[in-house]
Amino acid sequence: MHTPHQKPTGAFIAASWTALLVGALVYLAGLWNAEMQLNEKGYYFILLMYGLFSAVSLQKSVRDKLEAIPVTGIYYGLCWVSLGLAVLLLTVGLWNATLADSEKGFYDMSFLLALFGSVAVQKNIRDLARFKNDEPAYEDTSTAS
């Protein structure tokens, strides 16, 4: 069963891209200017990339399930575990970091803003593709004779 979706507004599309870009670029600018070792910067950079990928994968999996597109339970579970792991690893890294609390909050908030933005951008891309007929509707042929 397919539920109709509304086409996203230009304002929501702009807000989504802004959230993603501001969150990611501010996070990366903070890393660039941080006085930490290169391996620490690499850790936080990889966490951002992992978090963005897992958030988009989870959003896609949730949406696929809602639209009755098959998603294996293992993949769906891995998406949830991956997103939780990215957030947990960031939390543990910041908890143990020798940064001021304001810096820790800066990384936390920019990370979460980027994750939110990535989910919203993925949703918009999928919704716009549906309205442009770029994404064919999934048809369950398993019961066809």
Q: Tell me: the pLDDT tens digits for 75-116?
A: 999 999 999 999 999 999 999 988 889 999 999 999 999 999
- What gap in Å lies between CA 54 and CA 41, rounded to an integer? 20
- What gap in Å lies between CA 28 and CA 33, rounded to an integer? 9
Domains contained in the chain, number: 1
Let me know if 30 is exposed, middle or buried by CB neighbors in 10 A (0-12, 13-18, 19+): middle
Across all residues in the chain, what is the average pLDDT? 88
Would you say residue 90 lies in a domain?
A: yes
Would you say residue 110 lies in a domain?
A: yes
Among 51, 116, 59, residue whose Cα is nearest residue 85 = 51
Among 32, 8, 14, residue whose Cα is nearest residue 110 = 32
What is the pLDDT tens value at each position of the chain, 145 positions in all? 455 667 888 899 999 999 999 999 999 999 999 888 999 999 999 999 999 999 999 999 999 998 888 999 999 999 999 999 999 999 999 999 888 899 999 999 999 999 999 999 999 988 888 877 644 555 555 555 4
Would you say residue 6 lies in a domain?
A: no
Would you say residue 141 lies in a domain?
A: no
Would you say residue 98 lies in a domain?
A: yes
Q: Given the structure tokens 């391996």, which residue do they identify?
A: 39
Would you say residue 58 lies in a domain?
A: yes
Cα separations in angstroms, 22 against 30, 76, 84: 12, 28, 22
Would you say residue 76 lies in a domain?
A: yes
Would you say residue 61 lies in a domain?
A: yes
Tell me the residue range of the domain where 95 lies.
22-131
Which residues make Cβ contacts (< 8 Å) with residue 129, sequence separation at least 6? 135
* pTM of the complete model: 0.81
Among 56, 58, 54, residue whose Cα is nearest residue 46 = 54
